[in-house]
Amino acid sequence: MRNTHKFRNLFLVLLSLFISSCGPIWGQAIRVTEGIKTFTVVEGDISNLQPIKSIYVLSPFLNEEGDFFMCTSEDGTIFPYSTKVKYVCRGDIPEKFSAEFNEADLFTSEVFSLRDTAQTTSLKEMLMTKSADELKKELSLATIPEVIMIGSVTALDHSIAPLRGIVTTISFRLDFINVVTKKSTVIDVTVKKLDQDTIPRVVEEMVSKTKSE
């Protein structure tokens, strides 16, 4: 009986060592797959963003179904680990993009919200048809920006990287609309990084792409 207890204890020790050693290995394996997965200009030209100095980022972002915030995952879990999420927009995403634009010195950026969120679906049409002065008045903007960015989240997935944190794979559609020239530059980008690093990595890629043009 004593030998059985010794064997069980030894097994538990070996098992814990195995798990603790595999965690970092798996975490590092996931790191190899991280980064920008796709970056595609689906409308316009990214060179149109080069001379831009000021930009307003619309809050909140939409998701692909036209909703605003992350509510539930497909399987009903409160926090999805490795599951597709049905409603995928967090309220802090526009603020993070705006902060990163400023930090990277890509644009001078501010966040603005519509008084009536129902306007969001028709905002692009408004931006394309009204003058800058009309937009300033109708959208209650403090100043007239060169560009307004309308963003959406089209896909989101989470996974656990042992000893590192939550790895997020997220797809954005970023629509940059010049309120003066009425030109639109639309970027589809997918990134896989630790959750807090996803938006900084997207902005880093934008800086690289605009400078290379």
Whether 210 has a pLDDT exceeding 70, the answer reads: yes
Length of the chain: 213
* 57 and 1 fall within a common domain: no
Give the chain's mean pLDDT.
Answer: 77
* 42 and 1 fall within a common domain: no
**Host domain of residue 21:** 1-32
Residue 33: per-residue pLDDT? 73
* 80 and 120 fall within a common domain: yes
Residue 103: per-residue pLDDT? 95
Q: 113 CB contacts (<8 Å, ≥6 apart)?
A: 58, 59, 60
* 80 and 177 fall within a common domain: yes
Please give the residue that has the higher pLDDT: either 29 or 175.
175
Task: Please write the tens of the pLDDT for every residue from 40-71.
Answer: 999 999 999 989 999 999 887 776 554 444 44
* 23 and 103 fall within a common domain: no
Residue 80: per-residue pLDDT? 35
- Averaged over 6-19, what is the pLDDT? 51
Phi, psi of 111 (to 5 degrees): -105, 140
Task: Please write the tens of the pLDDT for every residue from 98-136.
Answer: 999 999 999 999 998 876 655 666 788 888 889 888 988
Q: Report the domain count for the chain.
A: 2
* 94 and 7 fall within a common domain: no
Residue type, 83: T
* 19 and 78 fall within a common domain: no
* 99 and 74 fall within a common domain: yes
| CA distances from residue 182 to 78, 176, 190 in whole angstroms, order as listed | 41, 10, 26
Q: What is the CATH number of the domain that holds 117?
A: 3.40.50
- How many whole angstroms separate alpha carbon 165 and alpha carbon 167? 6
* 173 and 196 fall within a common domain: yes
